[in-house]
Amino acid sequence: MARYRSDGAMSGIGALGEFGLIKALTAGLPGASGLLCGPGDDCAIVQMGNTRVLLSCDAMIEEVHFRRDWMTPEAIGRKAAAVALSDIAAMGGAARCLLITLGCPANTETEYLSRLYAGVSDLTRQFDVPVAGGDTVRTLNGIMLDIAVVGEMAPDVEPRYRSGAKPGDIIAVSGYPGSAALGMTALERGDAEQTALIEAHTRPRPRLKEGAWLARQTGVHAMIDVSDGLAQDLGHIAERSGVRVVIEKDKLPVSQEMRSYAPTTGRAPEEYALSGGEDYELAFTIAPDAEADVCAHFTAAFDLPLTCIGTVQEGEPAVLLNGHPITQRGFDHFAAGK
């Protein structure tokens, strides 16, 4: 998942970056039979009996990923659950249950925590995903919420990996990535009237129905959720698929709200669309002969914009914008600045 602010010192793991760190740490871990997909995709997949079980977890740390004065406890709980469930959506799976690990100082008000859990509960009810268990621990300061999600792949559906993109594919993305980052800016500035952008930041929706539907379309190849910014997440697809991802700037979806608010920050709305992070929309690649069909049926089935923004090409793994490599990347949790 993306981080609302990365202001860590550039020493230690800061220099490696989040993805360098993950690579370094998981390099020595043993694999195993039954582990159909290990670290490196949106979810792990384990064969258990006749079921392919999807597993993922996402932690949110106070003052790193959220601030109490920007979001109600209900919104924090709701977002933590949404972020975790989004990983199931990105594989095309069905969510089955989740576990909540709550960390907080001993002097935390019970009412605050009840409201946090009410937020989790609100979202999980909506998607019919029960809370199966969890852990509560004391922290020295700040709230920590780590949600592990368990899902399954329907027997007749194949998961969509980051490694599935093929040269020639069209790249599509749902919704308006960049809205959440602009919403965070609006919160920082106290621009409370930017309700659509603020809602994008505080109330992301896991695209579970959309992801499960997309995984049933034969032309849909690679899929990922846009948690760290479109350029960075498409970079994961490029790297794992061994392809070049080519985006056209003019095709990037930009909402009215993004178009009018972004200039007040001195940046173009397309910059937010490319590197915003925390949108939890779905980005995926489609075989060219399936594009028209998938897009038409998606739009008919869901109340959600779908935009084709570029193509997959042969070449060294990279993400290009109008032919140039993108240097403006998404959020890196351990790196300094944005």
Q: What is the 3-state secondary structure (H, E, C) of 13-32?
A: HHCCHHHHHHHHHHCCCCCC
Closest to a second copy by CB, 94 vs 274, is 94
Tell me the HSE value of 195 on the side-chain side, using a 13 A CA sphere: 1
How far apart are CB 225 and a second copy at their closest, in Å?
A: 14
How far apart are CB 199 and a second copy at their closest, in Å?
A: 24
Closest to a second copy by CB, 35 vs 301, is 35
Closest to a second copy by CB, 176 vs 331, is 331
Enumerate the H helices of the chain as residue ranges.
17-26, 73-91, 110-126, 179-189, 195-202, 208-214, 230-241, 256-261, 269-275, 291-301
Closest to a second copy by CB, 53 vs 230, is 53
> What's the CA gap between 64 and 8, in Å, rounded?
10
Tell me the HSE value of 167 on the side-chain side, using a 13 A CA sphere: 9
- CB atoms closer than 10 angstroms to residue 286: 28
How far apart are CB 62 and a second copy at their closest, in Å?
A: 8
Dihedral of the alpha carbons of 7, 12, 18, 24, in degrees to the nearest 10: 180
Closest to a second copy by CB, 6 vs 174, is 6
> What's the CA gap between 135 and 1, in Å, rounded?
21
Burial 232-254 (b: 16+ CB within 10 A, else e): bbbbbbbbbbebbbbbeeeebbb
How far apart are CB 116 and a second copy at their closest, in Å?
A: 8
How far apart are CB 158 and a second copy at their closest, in Å?
A: 16
Closest to a second copy by CB, 10 vs 292, is 10
Closest to a second copy by CB, 44 vs 197, is 44
Q: Token match 């852990």: residue?
A: 135
How far apart are CB 59 and a second copy at their closest, in Å?
A: 5
83 neighbors 226 (Cβ within 8 angstroms): no
First and final CA of the chain: distance in angstroms?
Answer: 15
268 neighbors 285 (Cβ within 8 angstroms): no
Closest to a second copy by CB, 66 vs 284, is 66
How far apart are CB 232 and a second copy at their closest, in Å?
A: 15
Q: Which two tokens stand for residue 48?
A: 């258990």
Helix (H) or strand (E) holding 140: none
> What's the CA gap between 177 and 200, in Å, rounded?
9
Question: What letter does residue 41 receive in the DSSP assignment?
Answer: B
How far apart are CB 334 and a second copy at their closest, in Å?
A: 5
Closest to a second copy by CB, 9 vs 192, is 9
How far apart are CB 67 and a second copy at their closest, in Å?
A: 12
